[in-house]
Structure 1
Amino acid sequence: MKGTTMVRSMWKGAISFGLVHIPVEMYTAVSDKALDLTMLDRRDFSPVGFKRYNKGNDKEVSWEDIVKGYEYADGEYVVLSEEDLRRANPEATGTIDILAFVDAGDVPLIYYEQPYYLAPGKGGDKVYALLRETLKKAGKIGIANVVIRVKQHLAALVCVDDAITLHTLRYADEIRPTDELKIPGKSSKAATITAKELAMAMALVEGMADAWKPDQYRDTYREDILALVDKKVKAKQTRTITMPDKDSPKPAASNVVDLVALLQASIGKKPGTKAEVAPAPKPKRARKPAAKAATARKKAA
């Protein structure tokens, strides 16, 4: 397609399981939309950079003079080139080695880390499609080992539409236990939930249920920051440092929560809007005194 830049593959190799060998190329599946803020010297607003320097003589080092090394003893290094890293285990650095096929729902979301697209390499279309359709029909994902940029990763091969994606996974010892966190259990007295509260919460969830439409969600905070940048540029306030207000009001804190009232007020409200407080009932009209009421009845007769 004209006018578009072809995405470059970051890794080439093959998916391997049993005697099956699928040539694939790996592509980044996400793009970082984080705000890129530059560090400035507040005295003259000049950018503050990171200097590559030799810790032995304090002189700057150019990129072409930088090599990588492993510190095997204090102050002693073994130089490792890209070729050394490849030769250490040529098969591991060029293969996504599937170890097992597991049910897709068996891997908790906390294990998932970084997603990548896998596209078939030359001559790999048919066997790529075969693996994809097999995974879909079986409802399985492939658990594999892969080496990406010097580090070996545990990974999951997951089908997303017509693509096979590779998600790097965290190892079990990288997941911190929750033992030290104050998380209420089902038997906790402080977190006892009544049947009414649960029913109200279920009604709220059901009322907000919707189909997954990823395009309708945006990073509105990033948009607000960029709008503020544009406003400051137009107002020629690019070097104005905004300080917090001393008398800014603080939200009132309260430990008492009427959960049922909040749930009742929330039901029927659109996501993202604050629940409105129900209007107070209108005061009843005062009843007429007995004497006036009797006089009114006589006149009517």
Structure 2
Amino acid sequence: MRSMWKGSVSFGLVTIPVNLYTATENKSVSLRQVHEADGARIQYKRYCSAEGKEVPYAEIAKGYELPDGGMVVLTDADFAELPLPTSRAIDVLEFVPLEAIDPIYYDSTYYIEPQKAAAKPYVLLRDALHKSGQVAIAKVALRQRESLAILRVHSDLLVMTTMLWPDEVRTPEFGFLDEDVPQIRPQELTMAGSLIDSMSEPVFEHGKYQDSYREALEALIGAKASGNETTAPPEAPGKAEVVDLMSALQASVSAAKETRKPAKRKAPAKAKTGEDAAKTDAAVKKRRSKTA
């Protein structure tokens, strides 16, 4: 893997030089915009609306549009002058239980690797963090943006997950939240609990799930690339509409139990006794004498 950031983890008065690597990758099939008639790629040009000409990438800066339509131009030099002490440091601020953080705030995840000669303080922080059962809350600046982040242990590595700021999570505004709460009968709640129990597993096995859409899209592309005709998969049978909630829950519990029922194991063969073995040998000798 290629490092995308170099800096240090600041843990009290301890500084740990580290490299940062993107921990995830998007496996979606990459598609380009093309002209349907001939398959030629659609291209976009960087065009200056004032001068009416194409602009080279080296002359492109960033701009912030004002309410009156004016534009504030920001160059790389402007960004370099911003007071960001976390631009080369992951600054640990405090420690909290992981369950105290709502996953809605999670953004991107990165692997943290110690630089040369920094293995000992790295392992010290890793093991102490693991033993505490907590995660570290830190600040870091990546790609001209400062974020909150959590540091935790995963597969013997320190892992950093950047977080959204509180004002970046939208406030839900839905009409039904202001309406009277529907009355749920106790037996409906009990049956819903039974459905959860029947679909529960002791651990989450990520590997047993597949991206069916991506597999189908790759098969379609492969078929078209080889000149074969493609056929649409059969439509899944539609689900019958169930008006009664209790009936729907009962049917769901029954279906879940049926689909998750373990396969029946064959009974192990009985060990032959001495008497059984003698009978078998006698039968074999009898058949041989007949065929002789």
Partner of 2:213: 221
Partner of 2:223: 231
Residue 237 (structure 1) shift: 6.2
String of CA shifts for 1:247-289, please: whole Å, max 9, x gaps. Answer: x999466251422133123213139xxxxxxxxxxxxxxxxxx
Q: More helix by proportion, 1 or 2?
A: 2
Shift in alpha-carbon separation, 1:205–1:183, aligned structure 2, 3 A: farther
| Partners of 1:236 and 1:201 in 2: CA distance | 44
Partner of 2:72: 77
| Partners of 1:19 and 1:53 in 2: CA distance | 50
Partner of 1:263: 253
Partner of 1:8: 2
User: Structure 1 length normalisation: TM-score?
Assistant: 0.74
Correspondences of 1:115-154 after superposition (within 5 Å): 115-154=109-148
In structure 2, runs of 5+ residues without a counterpart are 262-292
3-state SS, counterpart of residue 126 of structure 1: helix
| Partners of 1:191 and 1:254 in 2: CA distance | 21
Shift in alpha-carbon separation, 1:202–1:78, aligned structure 2, 3 A: closer
String of CA shifts for 1:137-181, please: whole Å, max 9, x gaps. Answer: 111111111110111111111110211111011112222233526
String of CA shifts for 1:49-91, please: whole Å, max 9, x gaps. Answer: 222111212211222332345557843434421x542332252
**Contact 2:109/2:160, CA 8 A, preserved across alignment:** yes
Aligned residues: 255
Partner of 2:191: 197
Is residue 2:13 matched to residue 1:19? Answer: yes
**Contact 2:4/2:22, CA 8 A, preserved across alignment:** yes
Partner of 1:274: none
Is residue 2:48 matched to residue 1:61? Answer: no
**Contact 1:144/1:156, CA 8 A, preserved across alignment:** yes
Shift in alpha-carbon separation, 1:225–1:270, aligned structure 2, 3 A: farther
Partner of 1:36: 30
String of CA shifts for 1:183-220, please: whole Å, max 9, x gaps. Answer: 699963157653641453144124xx153333332212
Is residue 2:241 matched to residue 1:254? Answer: yes
| Partners of 1:94 and 1:232 in 2: CA distance | 48
Shift in alpha-carbon separation, 1:29–1:263, aligned structure 2, 3 A: same
Moved more, 194-203 or 58-67: 194-203
How large is the RMSD of aligned CA atoms in angstroms? Answer: 3.1
In structure 1, runs of 5+ residues without a counterpart are 1-6, 272-301
3-state SS, counterpart of residue 251 of structure 2: helix
Counterpart amino acid of residue 27 in structure 1: Y
> Which of residues 196, 204, 225 is equivalent to 1:212?
204
Counterpart amino acid of residue 222 in structure 1: R
3-state SS, counterpart of residue 95 of structure 2: strand
| Partners of 1:70 and 1:203 in 2: CA distance | 52
Residue 13 (structure 1) shift: 0.9
Percent of pairs identical after alignment?
32
